[in-house]
Amino acid sequence: MKKLLMATALSSLGATAAFAADDIKMGVAAAFTGPLESLAPPIARGAELAIEEANASGLLLGGITVSPVRADTTCIDSAAATAAVERLVTGDKVVGVMGPMCSGATTAVLQNVAVPNGIVMISPSATSPALTDIEDNGLFFRTAPSDARQGAVMAQIILDHGIKSVAVTYTNNDYGKGLSSAFETSYKAAGGTVTLTSAHEDGKADYSAEVGALASAGGDALVVVGYVDQGGSGMVQSALDSGAFDTFVFPDGMVGSALVERFGSDIDGSFGQNPAAAGEGRGLFNDMATKAGFDGTSAFAGEAYDGAALMLLAMQAAGSSDPSVYKTKIMDVANAPGEMILPGEIGKALQILADGGEVDYVGAAAVEFIEPGESAGTYREITIEGGEIKVVGYR
Partner 1 sequence: MDFLNAIVALSNFVLIPAIAYGSQLALGALGVTLIYGILRFSNFAHGDTMAFGSMVTVLVTWWFQSMGISFGPLPTALLALPFGILGCMALVLITDRAVYRFYREQKAKPVILVIVSMGVMFILNGVVRFIIGPDDQRFADGERFIISARDFKEMTGLSEGLAIKTTQGITVVVAVVAVVLLFWFLNRTRTGKSMRAYSDNEDLALLSGINPERVVMYTWLIVAALATVAGTLYGLDKSFKPFVYFQLLLPIFAAAIVGGLGSPLGAIAGGFVIAFSEVTITYAWKKVLVYLLPDALEPSGLVQLLSTDYKFAVSFVILLIVLLFRPTGLFRGKSV
Which H or E run contains 196? strand 193-200
| Minimum CB distance to partner 1 smaller for 241 or for 287 | 241
Q: Rounded to the nearest whole angstrom, what is the least distance from the CB of residue 30 to partner 1 in the complex?
A: 20
Tell me if residue 350 falls in helix, strand or coil: helix
Tell me if residue 273 falls in helix, strand or coil: strand
- Interface with partner 1 (CB under 8 A), residue from 188, 204, 291, 395: 204
Contact call for residue 189 and partner 1 (CB under 8 A): no
- Interface with partner 1 (CB under 8 A), residue from 22, 23, 160, 201: 201
Span interacting with partner 1, options 45-53, 192-200, 269-277, 383-391, rule CB under 8 A: 192-200
Contact call for residue 234 and partner 1 (CB under 8 A): yes
**3 Cβ partners below 8 Å, 6+ apart?**
none
Gap between the Cα atoms of 33 and 102, Å rounded? 12
Amino acid making up residue 86: E
Contact call for residue 242 and partner 1 (CB under 8 A): yes
Span interacting with partner 1, options 38-46, 94-102, 202-210, 384-392, rule CB under 8 A: 202-210
Give me the 134-173 binding string for partner 1, x by CB under 8 A, dash otherwise.
--------------------------------------x-
The 10 Å Cβ neighbour count of residue 246 is 15
Q: Rounded to the nearest whole angstrom, what is the least distance from the CB of residue 390 to partner 1 in the complex?
A: 24
Contact call for residue 256 and partner 1 (CB under 8 A): no
- Interface with partner 1 (CB under 8 A), residue from 162, 243, 337, 386: 243
- Interface with partner 1 (CB under 8 A), residue from 79, 213, 391, 392: 213
Q: Judged by CB under 8 A, how many residues of this single chain contact partner 1?
A: 25
Q: Rounded to the nearest whole angstrom, what is the least distance from the CB of residue 271 to partner 1 in the complex?
A: 20
Amino acid making up residue 241: D
Residue of 162, 166, 128 whose CA lies nearest to 147: 128
- Interface with partner 1 (CB under 8 A), residue from 83, 134, 159, 217: 217
**18 Cβ partners below 8 Å, 6+ apart?**
none
Q: Rounded to the nearest whole angstrom, what is the least distance from the CB of residue 126 to partner 1 in the complex?
A: 25
- Interface with partner 1 (CB under 8 A), residue from 7, 15, 189, 209: 209
- Interface with partner 1 (CB under 8 A), residue from 12, 137, 216, 257: 216
Gap between the Cα atoms of 349 and 291, Å rounded? 21
Q: Rounded to the nearest whole angstrom, what is the least distance from the CB of residue 212 to partner 1 in the complex?
A: 4
User: Strand pairing partners for 388?
Assistant: 385
Contact call for residue 391 and partner 1 (CB under 8 A): no
Amino acid making up residue 50: A
**Total count of residues recorded for the chain:** 395
**266-271: long-range pairs with CB below 8 Å, 24+:** 266/240, 267/236, 267/240, 267/384, 268/384, 268/385, 268/386, 268/387, 269/383, 269/384, 269/385, 270/221, 270/383, 270/384, 271/157, 271/161, 271/381, 271/382, 271/383, 271/384, 271/392
Which H or E run contains 389? strand 388-394
| Minimum CB distance to partner 1 smaller for 217 or for 325 | 217
Contact call for residue 208 and partner 1 (CB under 8 A): yes
Gap between the Cα atoms of 79 and 257, Å rounded? 32
Contact call for residue 261 and partner 1 (CB under 8 A): no
| Minimum CB distance to partner 1 smaller for 64 or for 199 | 199
- Interface with partner 1 (CB under 8 A), residue from 196, 292, 325, 376: 196
User: Strand pairing partners for 272?
Assistant: 250, 382
In the complex, the residues that contact partner 1 under the rule CB under 8 A are: 172, 196, 198-201, 203-206, 208-213, 215-218, 234, 241-244
